Amino acid sequence: MAKSSMKYQGSKDYIASDELMNSVNIAIALQKPLLIKGEPGTGKTMLAKSIADSLGKRLIIWNIKSTTKAQEGLYVYDTVQRLYDSQFGDHDVSDIKQYIKLGKLGEAFTSDEQVVLLIDEIDKADLEFPNDLLWELDQMSFYIPETRETIVAKHRPIVIITSNAEKELPDAFLRRCIFHYIAFPDPEGMERIVRVHHPNIEKRLLQQALETFYALRNVPNIQKKPSTSELIDWLQALVVGGISPNRIKQELPFLGVLLKKNEDLDTLLNHLHGKTQASRPVQPSYSSLNRYRY
Ligand SMILES: Nc1ncnc2c1ncn2[C@@H]1O[C@H](COP(=O)(O)OP(=O)(O)O)[C@@H](O)[C@H]1O
Ligand SMILES: [Mg+2]
């Protein structure tokens, strides 16, 4: 295959800026992990899917939780199953290999073809986690003492790591990555993104919705600002609900699709009233909010 055809150039369902495409291609060329930061909803997870789709590679997703340990990405030794088999089973348990279960990194390393490996939301785990993976990501290999086996990557995976910027990542880890920050899209950029999901949406409905969406995001002290996915859902609701463009600003229909925290509804309500946060708490319902205007 010609080398140029292996360049990432976005995909039909994903809008990537030139800078983002550049970062992806540099990371691939230098064979370094690409660390993507940005607030929720800026398309970090979706980027990995887009890269895999457009390069025709399998995507392996490792979803990180607060309890995830680096070791789990390599392999786990299922001692419980082995014990069970030794007591109740009738087959040979001396071959430990059958109880070694590869994790997502192990799966990516042993794949016969190059894969895209997404380590999603790395900042969810504790601070040790990124450091614990440094060696394996550098060397693209790890050792399994139980079987005295070394797993070496047949093909270095394209590694995409995402972070919601909740925590700072360790310096040693940052040094080894190509870094890219996806800024929240401006209205023009957002319009392009939305059109991927709603290609036939009426221009004026979209304009009104975007205006209201960005106004809501700008209300001070909103804790969970509505993001791209909320906007996409909201537009769907507006279309299905047959809401006319003029009603959007006045009634804020289906507000619960955009703001999902009670505190944020309070904040908005107070803001619309021109009150301060410290005033008497109000108990708005989604429907009562419909009566208030900007
Ligand atoms: N650049 C983009 N092009 C197309 N859709 C996008 C883009 N950015 C975000 N989206 C849409 O917004 C939603 C959230 O994207 P996601 O990748 O889950 O964000 P993140 O992982 O950064 O929180 C998805 O439904 C996705 O389709
Ligand atoms: Mg995500």
CATH label of the domain that carries residue 176 = 3.40.50.300
246 and 158 within one domain: no
Confidence of residue 85 (pLDDT cuts 50, 70, 90): confident
Sheet containing 178-181, strands listed edge to edge, beginning at the edge strand earlier in sequence: 58-63, 115-120, 158-163, 34-37, 178-181
Mean pLDDT of 185-194: 95
| CA angle (182, 187, 193) in 5-degree steps | 65
In a domain, 294, yes or no: no
> Looking at the predicted structure, is the pLDDT value of residue 283 above 50?
no
Lowest-pLDDT range of 4-13, 102-111, 252-261: 4-13
Q: What is the pTM of this model?
A: 0.87
Label residue 89 by pLDDT band (50, 70, 90). Answer: confident
**Low-confidence winner among 34-43, 256-265, 279-288 (lowest mean pLDDT):** 279-288
- Percentage of residues of the chain with pLDDT beyond 70: 91
User: With a 6 A CB cut-off, is 45 part of the ligand 1 pocket?
Assistant: yes
Question: What integer best gives the mean pLDDT of the chain?
Answer: 90
Residues 86 and 12 in one domain: yes
If asked whether residues 125 and 202 sit together in one domain, one would say: no
Q: What is the pLDDT of residues 26-82, one digit of tens each?
A: 999 999 999 999 999 999 999 999 999 999 999 999 999 999 999 999 999 998 888
Last residue of a domain, one of 163, 181, 199: 181
106 lines ligand 1 (CB under 6 A): no
Q: Does the Cβ of 100 fall within 6 Å of ligand 1?
A: no
CA of 118 to the centre of ligand 1 (A): 15
Rounded-to-integer distance, Cα 52 and Cα 34, Å? 14
Shared domain for 164 and 192, answered yes or no, is no
DSSP state of 11: B
Regarding the beta carbon of 193 and ligand 1, being less than 6 Å apart is answered: yes
pLDDT (0 to 100) of residue 112: 98
Q: Is there a contact between 95 and 147 (Cβ–Cβ < 8 Å)?
A: no
pLDDT at 148 over 90: yes
pLDDT at 276: 47
Residue nearest to ligand 1 atom 13, measured at CA: 229
Q: Are residues 283 and 142 in the same domain?
A: no
Which segment of 17-31, 92-106, 230-244, 267-281 scores lowest on mean pLDDT?
267-281
Domain containing 63 equals 3-181
- With respect to residue 92, please indicate whether it lies within any of the assigned structural domains: yes
Same domain membership, residue 58 and residue 126: yes
Does the residue 112 lie in any domain?
yes
Q: Is residue 204 pLDDT above 90, yes or no?
A: yes
Domain match, 22 and 73 both: yes
**CB neighbour burial string for 80-118, b if at least 16 within 10 angstroms, e if fewer:** eebeebeeeeeeeeeebeebbebbbbbbbbebeebbbbb
Q: In the predicted model, is pLDDT for residue 286 greater than 70?
A: no
- Tell which of 139, 163, 181 closes a domain: 181
151: pLDDT confidence band, cut at 50, 70 and 90? Answer: very high
Position 162 in a domain: yes
Distance separating alpha carbons of residues 199 and 82, to the nearest angstrom: 54
Same domain, 128 and 224: no
Per-residue model confidence (pLDDT) at position 81: 87
Show which of 181, 213, 235 is a domain's final residue. Answer: 181
Query: How much is the pLDDT for 92?
Result: 83
Least confident of 90-99, 127-136, 211-220, 227-236: 90-99
**Poorest-confidence range of 14-23, 67-76, 159-168?**
159-168
pLDDT attached to residue 196: 95
- Looking at the structure, tell me whether residues 198 and 145 fall in a common domain: no
Distance from residue 43's CA to the centre of ligand 2 (Å): 7
Asked if residue 141 and residue 259 are part of one domain, the reply reads no
Do 92 and 219 share a domain, yes or no? Answer: no
Count the domains in the chain.
2
247 and 206 in a common domain: yes
CA distance 199 to 163: 29
Per-residue pLDDT band for 253 (boundaries 50, 70, 90) equals: very high
pLDDT for 95 equals: 85
3-state secondary structure of 83: helix
- Cα 21 to Cα 78: distance, rounded to the nearest angstrom: 41
For the stretch 22-58, what's the b/e string if a residue is b when 16 or more beta carbons lie within 10 angstroms of its beta carbon? ebbbebbeeebbbbbbbebbbbbbbbbbbbbebbebe
Q: Is 46 in the pocket of ligand 1 (CB under 6 A)?
A: yes
Say if strands 141-144 and 149-152 run parallel, antiparallel, or are unpaired: antiparallel
Q: Dig out the tokens for 177 from the structure.
A: 């990555």
Within a domain: 148 = yes
Residue nearest to atom 20 of ligand 1 (CA): 41
Residue 6: predicted pLDDT: 77
